[in-house]
Structures are given as C-alpha cells and as structure tokens.
Amino acid sequence: MAEFKVAPAGASMVDKLTLWTQNRFPTAFDAYRVHMSEYYAPKAQNIWYVFGALAILVLVIQIVTGIFLTMHYKPDAAKAFESVEYIMRDVPWGWLVRYMHSTGASAFFVIVYLHMFRGLLYGSYRKPRELVWIFGVAIFLVLMGEAFMGYLLPWGQMSYWGAQVIINLFAAIPFVGADLALLIRGDYVVGDATLNRFFAFHVIALPLVLLGLVVAHIFALHDVGSNNPDGIEIKDHLDPKTGIPLDGIPFHPYYTVHDILAVSVFLMIFSAIIFFAPEMGGYFLEYNNFIPADPLKTPAHIAPVWYFTPYYSMLRATTDPMVNVFCVIIGVSALMAAWKAKLPSLAKAAVVLAAVVAIALLKTFDAKFWGVVVMGASVMILFVLPWLDHSPVKSIRYRPDWHKAVYGVFVVVFFILGWLGIETVSDTKTLMAQIGTVYYFGFFLLMPWWSQLGTFKPVPERVVFSAH
Amino acid sequence: MIKRILQSLLISCMLVTGAAHAAGAGIAWDKFPVEKLTSDAALQNGAKLFVNYCLNCHAASYVRYNRMNDIGLSNEQIKANLLFATDKVGETMKISLDPKQAKLWFGVVPPDLSVIARSRSAAGQGSGADYLYTYLRTYYRDDSKATGWNNLAYPNVAMPHVLWELQGERKPTFTRATEHGKDVEVFSGWEVSKAGTLDARAYDNAMADLVAFLQWAGEPAQKTRQQLGAWVLLFLGIFTVIAWRLNAAYWKDIK
C-alpha cells in the first residue's frame, strides 16, 4: 500500500479532497496515468486512428439508449411489435432513443469495419500486438451475435424470417444440427421462446462479454503501445533521460482533443441520418420490418442486414459445383506440396492423406453444411491473420505497390460480396459471389506466400510526421 | 489526408444508394406530392377520408385520436367529427372487426394501417407514399375477380374499390409494345365507364390528402424530428469548429 500523504498547510479544498481520495483509492489515479496522461501514443497517427474512440462512443450510445428502450419494450411475441411503435409514438423522446439505437447498430459496424481495415493497412495485428487483434476479432464476433439477436426484437417480418433463415443454418451441421437449432430457438419454429432468450442474450449476456473484451482489448493495447502508419516501434527510440519514446506524446490531452474533433464530425453524420434518413434507404431499418412478424407468410425476398451480407454471400456461393472447386483446389495444392515443397517424405504423405480425407469429407456432407463452414471460416480466419502475414514490413506504406492493388481488390470484392448478399440469386450473381469467395479466402490463405514477394521500400528509423 | 477523407466519404456514399429489394408486380409508381405533408388542411382532409372510408375494416391501432392535435385538430373537433368507434379521444384507432370473419369475407385480414406507408417503400421504385398514391388511384372494373375490382399497382388485390363512389368506374387501356425483344402490353390510359362524384383531378387531390395522412400516421414525430435535426446539426457545426480550433491549439506544440 502506498504511503498516506498529508496535505501541506494552506492547501486548497480541491487539493485536500484530491489527496484524500488518492490516499484511499490510488488505483484510480494510477489508471488515469497509465491509460491517459502518461500513455504515450505515436505522434504521427492519422485519421484512421479515430475509429477506436468512436467505437467506444457508439458502444456507450448503444448501452444508454438500450437501457431506456428496455424500460418500454416488451419481449413478448404478441406485444413486441406494438411496444416498439409505442416507443416511437407515445414515449416522450422514444423515437429519438429508438433511432439512435437502430442507427447506432449500423454505425457500430461501419466504424468497426474501418477500424479493422486500419489494422490491416498498417499491420497493427503483428508482433507484439497479436492479442490486441485477437481480442478485437472476438469483439467483432460478439458484436455480430449482439446485432443478430437484437434484430429479432422489433418482431417485424424481416426480424422473424431473418432469424428463421440463420438459425436453420445451424441445422445443416451434421449429427447435432437439428438439436442445436432447437436449442437456439427453444421451439420448433421461431416464436415467443426464441424472442425471450434472444432478449436475454441481447440485453445482458452478450453486452457483459462485450464490455469485458473491450477492456481486455484496450489494456492489451496500452501494454504493448499503439502502432502507427509507418508500422515502426516508437519504443525503440527512447529519451535517455526520461525513458519516454521520442516520437510518443501523451494520449491526454493530444489524442483526447483529436478524438473530440472526430466525435463531433461523427455525430454530425450520425445525427444527419437519425433526423433526416433514419431508415437509410431501407439499409438501417428495412421496409419489410414495418410489417409485424407473420409465421404463415414468408416474404418473397429475405436478406440479412447489410453488415452481414458479405458473409451471407459466401454462404450462398457454396453450391455443389463450388464444393467441387474446393476439392480441386485442395487436391492440386496437396500434389504441389508433395512435388515441390522441401519436406520429409513422411510429412508429404501426411499432406496428401489429409487432402484425401478433406476431399472425402467435402463430398460426403451437403453443400449447405459447407456453406455454413465457409461463412464461419470467413470470420474465423481473421483470428490467425497475425500468423498469415509474413511481410518484412508492417505498414502498407513500405510494401511493393502491387500489394496496394491486392488490398484494393480485396476491398472491392468485399463490397461486391456485400451487395450480392442483398440481391436475389441469379446464375451470374452466384458466379460473381463464387469468384469473390475464392478471392477472399485466397487473399488470406495465400498471404504467407504473396506477402513476402516484391521489392519492399526502406522503412524509416523514426515516424514520419509533419506538424499541423 | 484529404484524399483519405474523400475515400471514406465515397465508401459511405456507396452504402447510401438504395437497397435493391425484390420488385413487386404492378406498374411504375406515380410520385406522391410531398408538399401535402406540410399542409394541415390536407392532413385533416386525409384524416376525414381515412376515418370515413378505411377505419372500419382497417385499424390503425397504434395511432391515438388525440395525436391529431399535431395536425391542427382540437379534441372537441376530433370528438365531434372523427370519433365513431370509441368515445375516448385518448384511445387508439382500433376496430371491432373479427379477424376470423374478415378472413372469411376477404380471404385476408385487412392489415393494420398505422405504419403501412413505411412498410411499402421499395428502393428503386419509390416511397411507401408513392405506392399508396398510385394504388389508391389505379382501381378498375374486372368482372373476373370475386369483388369485381382489380388494381394495376397491386394486381389481384383482395380489397374492393371502397372509394368507387368518388372515383367512378374505369377500365385501363393497353397498347402493344416491344420491350427487350418481347411483345408486351403497356398501360396507356383510362377509359371512364361511369363518372364518380369527383372529377379526376379532385380525386387525385383527395387521395394525395389521404396518403399524406397515412404517411403522417406512420411516423407522427417526423416533423419534430426534422425540425429538431436542423438545430442539432447547427449546434454540432459550431461545436466542430470549436473542437477543430481546440485541437489545433494543442497540436501546435507538437513538432
């Protein structure tokens, strides 16, 4: 325990009170130093670095508006839709709270996607930040669950049938699928039981996990220090006297004022949507969801909300011919490994055997199941990203120019997959989605190979910064 | 820096372009005259039409009668002119139609109309108000249907033309045309077989009023929302300038 300090004679009331608290709760003061006033972040961080702070803001908005929504919302299949309209009409400022929450959900994903893309650009997931990244991907996963379960609550047609479709995906898992789907629904069809358990998960279970993960994400980040657009370690150049990184500046006040500006600009966009386009052209609030859930009437077209569509596209792309394509890719890669790779012959035999088993499994189970696997893998693959990237530099800035094109195409593919996930299926669109899926997985799985290729630019010793 | 901001803006704009949902059958939608939404007289006339023609089979069970204070009607006016199904002005617009019987009579239960205008929007086709405005004006005589009526915006609709006395009876005319190399029948105009009490212009006008009411009823807070939004953005605009200067004031020390 720290020593009890005594205030000097004539100290002001504020100083006395501060000291009184400090003597009794030093942890709070330490935390302030470690995470704010003496947390040194690289001075060259650019606009891509505001999305972490904005994600925290949106998290707070979601929790606070969520608390007020639960005061009036009724998790009951007979009353849910009505209670949302009650909030929209009869609860004072209910419409504002609800629009903040519904827009916040989409804003959360926009911000998180940009935040993740920043990590991708500047290699923020690489040593020593692997755990920061893993916690982040876990946050993203939980967020997806949170959004999915929250989307059922308004109990509109899209809520209902979207949940029906996604839960039925679990039924495609061999042996345990049917029971698993039943466990999730709590009934043989999506119904009151489903609504109640989704409500429980949405308002307490997942938010608790989410908050825990956010804390872990930030603590781990502050232990290893923030990355920067140059992808170099500022801790390699410390001030010999103070031990502070030469290119580091205290988070508070420099990045807090930065973030206040970002928050203000973000809130302008956020408010513009809330007040002038809360439905956002049917993307944030789907039109069909203004029709109460009707278990007897399947909508002609069911699409998930926009932030899930890239993965949903990859699921739909996994048709029987696509499974054959997977078989060929696995077979050819195994043969290539057996022929070219410098491995002991036993290992080569193991690779070929594994490929044979994989192909046998691919052909044994239904394409629908493999679609679910592909969809799951498309998110899970992010967990291993730190070990897939073998590039000698972290930041895109010092990579060969064609790497930028690879990333650019990846972004375009991701958008196209997202768009395809909203569209109805056609042969051309399925083919597009299949090409997109192959590129998406190729980008990650071949990264150990392509990320080393090309001529890399020299990385500077110190961060590149121009005063502004 | 600027380039990056522009890039992220571009990405967000791509998100804004309307979601292409499956287009329903029916003709292209006419544009609902949105200026009706700002006219209390139009909204009040719409309320009158709604209560007289719609609110017997359809409910609007999330809309409270006294919410019509917002469109310039006093409780006394509402009680005297619009309150048929209840005697409490704080009640919602419920009806006493038995859904089971309704299903027997019409084949479907007439949907609640509280949020009908919001639910019928479709990207690429128009707003829910556009749809309703078209739908209410494209009924025609069709003896092959059980009700004797059909609709161009909603083919094979279960609802008969409740407003036929106002509009009269009409039949659409079609011309043959070639589209994408196929012969198709294209709607070309109307043939009036029996005149209604309103001429075509007055009927369109009345329907615009009715749709304005439905649009208002779908989100009574819409006007407040937009008015407040302007102030919020003004505040945030000023705050952004302050935050920008504050940021600059701190960062000028960083070399």
Q: B233 and A86 in contact by Cβ < 8 A?
A: no
pLDDT at residue B1 above 70? no
Domains of chain A: 45-290 (1.20.810.10), 303-451 (1.20.810.10)
pLDDT, one tens digit per residue, over B20-33 is 333 446 889 999 99
DSSP readout, B169-200?
Answer: EEEEEEEEEEETTEEEEEEEEEEEEEE-SS-H
pLDDT, one tens digit per residue, over A412-437 is 999 999 999 999 999 999 999 999 99
Q: B244 and A89 in contact by Cβ < 8 A?
A: no
A390 contacts chain B (CB < 8 A): no
pLDDT, one tens digit per residue, over A129-174 is 999 999 999 999 999 999 999 999 999 999 999 999 999 999 999 9
Mean pLDDT (chain B, rounded): 88
Strand runs (DSSP E) across chain B, as ranges? Answer: 60-64, 92-93, 139-141, 149-151, 168-179, 182-195
pLDDT at residue B16 above 60? no
pLDDT, one tens digit per residue, over A266-316 is 999 999 999 999 999 889 999 999 999 999 999 988 889 999 999 999 999
Alpha-carbon Rg for chain B in angstroms: 24
Work out the pLDDT band at B51, boundaries 50, 70, 90.
Answer: very high
pLDDT, one tens digit per residue, over A236-251 is 999 999 999 999 999 9
Cα-Cα-Cα-Cα dihedral sign, residues B186, B192, B196, B199: positive
A415 contacts chain B (CB < 8 A): yes
Q: A282 and B121 in contact by Cβ < 8 A?
A: yes
Domain ranges in chain B?
23-218, 223-249
Q: How many CB pairs under 8 A join A and B?
A: 142
B108 contacts chain A (CB < 8 A): no
How many whole angstroms separate alpha carbon A336 and alpha carbon A331?
A: 9
Alpha-carbon Rg for chain A in angstroms: 26
B63 contacts chain A (CB < 8 A): yes
pLDDT at residue A219 above 90? yes
Q: How many CA atoms lie within 13 A of B144 on its CB side?
A: 5
The confidence score (pLDDT) of residue B47 equals 97
Tell me which chain A residue has its CA closest to the CA of residue B114: A85
Other beta carbons within 10 Å of A413: 21
A260: which chain B residues are within 8 Å (Cβ-Cβ)? 243, 246-247
A291 contacts chain B (CB < 8 A): yes
Longest Cα separation, chain B: 83
Least confident of A198-212, A334-348, A376-390: A334-348
Fold of B23-218: Cytochrome Bc1 Complex; Chain D, domain 2 (1.10.760)
pTM for the model: 0.92
Taking CA B46 as the corner, what is the angle to CA B40 and CA B51, rounded to the nearest 5 degrees?
Answer: 125
The confidence score (pLDDT) of residue B13 equals 43
Q: B123 and A300 in contact by Cβ < 8 A?
A: no
Q: Using CB atoms, which residue from A254, A271, A291 is nearest to B236?
A: A271
User: Does residue B253 contact residue A260 with C-beta atoms inside 8 Å?
Assistant: no
* Residue A374: partners with Cβ closer than 8 Å, 6 or more residues away: A314, A315, A317, A318, A437
B64: which chain A residues are within 8 Å (Cβ-Cβ)? 89-90
Least confident of A127-136, A389-398, B64-73, B117-126: B117-126
A48 contacts chain B (CB < 8 A): yes
pLDDT at residue B8 above 80? no
pLDDT, one tens digit per residue, over A2-60 is 678 888 888 899 999 999 999 999 999 999 999 999 999 999 899 999 999 999 999 99
Q: Using CB atoms, which residue from B16, B62, B121 is nearest to A287?
A: B121
Residue A346 phi, psi dihedral angles, 5° rounding: -65, -45
The confidence score (pLDDT) of residue A33 equals 95
pLDDT, one tens digit per residue, over B186-222 is 888 898 889 999 999 999 999 999 999 999 999 999 9
B192 contacts chain A (CB < 8 A): no
Q: Using CB atoms, which residue from A254, A261, A282 is nearest to B244?
A: A261
The confidence score (pLDDT) of residue B186 equals 83
Element (H, E) at A250: strand A248-250
